[in-house]
Chain A
Amino acid sequence: MESVLEQSVAANPELFCPAVFGRAVHALSRVGDELWLDPTVKGLALRSVNSAQSAYACFIFSPLFFQQYSFMGCVPKQSSKTVKCKLLMKSLLPLFRCLTSIERNVECCQISVSASSDWVIIQFFCRHGITKTHNLRFQEKEALQAEFASHLCTNVLKAPARLLGDMVMHFPVFQEEITLSATPLRFSLRNYEESGESQVKMMYTEMSLHPEEFEYFHVDVNSEITFCLKELRGFLSFTESHCLPVLVHFDSAGKPVCFSVEDTLFEASVVLATLIESKSTDSIQPVGIQVHATSRYVDAAALRVHACEGHGETGRERITSSQGSTVSPQPDPIPPLPQTQQANKESISVNTSPASSMVCTLLFKALSSEHDDNVCAATPPVLAGYSDEEMMEEFCPKSPSL
């Protein structure tokens, strides 16, 4: 496996469809307050994690998504750290806040990241010759990467585009957590309230449907998992706007659940930690969740894989509030097994491995989708001709090797 290129580089992708990119930013803004922008030769990755480290989202746009994707980089020797840039969501989100006006007015959008200076420069080339330039300062941070062994999950579902959104809309907007329950015969969602006095007077909602409604429904182990709804909603609004079916990988309570979508030009996923129910009492006890291993796809399983062990045995601190979080965002390179130092309810351990290479190879194994919508056509037309045709070919490879 090749080592990943460091990107103390200048990458100049130009966006074919800024609105799609903007929707990804919106979805990520519902997860965390910071966005990791990670340009690599394989594509542009955007990632975010919430403060409780119970939700992680990742959007990866392949170079094909862009009209022009140029990635110039020095290739230093393998260093243990990769440098990524981290932006504040509140600096980035306002640029993409009004998607309809972006769709109407912005003809072209250019993002440049230069590690030599600390700026990310986003330029919108709008109609009537107007150019808006935004300079955002980024912080160099360790990479954010949660790894999730989806191929080890016993339960896999594939839901058609609108199904999950239609289910989730029955729950009030302020509903924080939701319990998903799956058996081979039935799939249901219900709202979750922490035990306590308020439980008595809460309105309970449950929605259930038959496995027939899914494109693919494979439940080996009956399971009930409880996770945060808010972060999922942001992801679902993105997937619905692209009419993409959603893959759900999950296991038993305590193990994370992953919702993911793929398209020829991008892929997106959100990984959510789930509550573990203690057998001794009825109340929910939080636990640090270990997430190891690598990519989602079977063919990449040859890479370093740690089994998902240690669930449920680690730090059983009881936290009364559901947002208990004193976790610092500094990830350890190798996640320690007992996470007793983390006094939060759920967490996903994050890694600074050179994992982006693995993730990037997946872009080109994307499943073909009949749901390509108009903006993400396989070969985007060039809006303005470029003189450097060779440069485009060089930096927009069809094969993953470089």
Chain B
Amino acid sequence: MLQEESDLSLIIAQIVQKLKGSNLYAQLERQAWGSWEKRILKSLNSMCTELSIPLARKRPVGEQKELLNKWNEMGTDEPDLSLFRPVYAPKDFLEVLINLRNPNYENGDSLSFRTHLGLIQVPLKVKDIPELKELFVELGLTTGQLGIDDSTQVPPELFENEHVRIGQKVLTEQDSAAAQQYIRQGSPTALRAELWALILNISSHPEDILYYEQLKTNVIQHDLLVDSLIYKDVKLTASNDDYYFVFEDYLYQVLLCFSRDTSVLSHFAYNSASPPKSYIRGKLGLEEYAVFYPPNGVIPFHGFSMYVAPLCFLYHEPSKLYQIFREMYVRFFFRLHSISSHPSGIVSLCLLFETLLQTYLPQLFYHLREIGAQPLRISFKWMVRAFSGYLATDQLLLLWDRILGYNSLEILAVLAAAVFAFRAVNLMEVTSLAAAEAVLADLSTLKVMPLLQIFLFATVT
């Protein structure tokens, strides 16, 4: 009885978490998303017909055995992926967002007080710096932070030791809400894996491990076209990254299973997108034979595997790694590649970034606009990937700590603006988009928390 109750409250907590603040009704969302979805489906279908590869195929028994043997080293496989191309890349998605228009909105030629000088033309409500200071109050100058107050010059007695002690206490109490509050100041490396699992309500019950094994069996039995897209994406992105190439095999094990996980379909209840549908061959139009493709309804795009890669530093057991990734996806990452009016949705993040830049660095914004280098064109790819692959891994994990702690992706837009503020002097001297890209090409030396702190709390406006 007690187990049921705690399971039920777990589920309720997860549902409440996800439903809070979702705004999914706007007309413009549905129209824009509809045509974008159609484009993706057409692209997938044409790939299918051009290459004469079925969307799904049952593997013959010999192939199944082979795959099972190779399960832990799928990276050694070198299939011919030259004919496959990613369904879309972030820059295609950006073009869709740029063209989002509200039919009821005055988009006249004359400049008014609300003319959007950036790329996003949708009047969503975004926070300004005073409101962000209120939201991110724990990042203030008077509060200790990991990422700032644990540097070698600072004696650990001042902050770090006490912070670690509190973290251990939170873990012993298994208090999820306290963990979420605690992690706003950053998580010690040793405690991070457990803290994230606590916040995301992931526990390794035997049925979870069994569920993962079931997904693995599904991968072995059926071969999907989407698998090749995943292979290609991993080979193009994570395998080429100095930090993540060692995790290549893990990435296949997680992403291939992810594609077959029908429980992910439940997140479409609060996602304005809808999963692609198809019918069993020969049964077109019959609802009993309607299925979703891929089974989890999510078509991966170029760079998708980078959502998983940083997690490989924290979790080494495949079923736990899988659960953590799945929960992170259905809570946060799906908002980065679907159109919605949610404050953590990618449209709001883009608008927040542009508004922050325009309001607090007007000279820089104007200069970049004049030379044809709209700032969003550079920062979009950072935000869509939640900075994965652009920052050093320890800095990235500190950033993702805060995403979990504040349950919001707005910090990505603030960081993007802070990076521009940091390199403002160099950017003022460039004269083309390519030069601006070059100035901002390498973020691997940046320290995330000082940048955020200075931008929010220490800039004189």
A binds B: no
Residues of B that sit less than 8 Å from A by CB: none
